[in-house]
Amino acid sequence: MKPAEIEDYEENLKWANRIVPLQSKPIEEFEGALDTFYSDYRNTSVGWDEAMLLAVASLAGNPATDQELDTTRKRGAKSGCK
């Protein structure tokens, strides 16, 4: 694996471990978490896939830190949510 691939793998594994505690939840809870996430204007640059990861992690009891949110917002702004 290339260094960038290893970094992506490790990042995905980190998020997977944060989401594992999530029990089966109704779709309305996910919708509510996404609505709450996007209700903060600072999160408008975050793409849907990352927003869903952050929302699910939060529902599982592992919310993102301020630093993780800031990094995600900057990455979204730089890539145009791609």
The per-residue DSSP string of 14-61 comes to HHHHHHTTPPP--HHHHHHHHHHHHHSGGGTTS-HHHHHHHHHHHHTT
- Does residue 64 have a pLDDT over 80? yes
Gap between the Cα atoms of 45 and 72, Å rounded: 9
Note the pLDDT of residue 81. Answer: 64
Q: What is the number of alpha carbons within 13 Å of residue 65 lying toward its C-beta?
A: 4
- Does residue 70 have a pLDDT over 90? yes
Domain span at residue 13 reads 3-20+27-79
Number of domains in the chain: 1
- Does residue 62 have a pLDDT over 70? yes
DSSP label at 65? P
**pLDDT tens digit sequence for 4-60:** 666 766 776 676 766 766 666 777 888 888 999 999 999 999 998 889 888 888 888
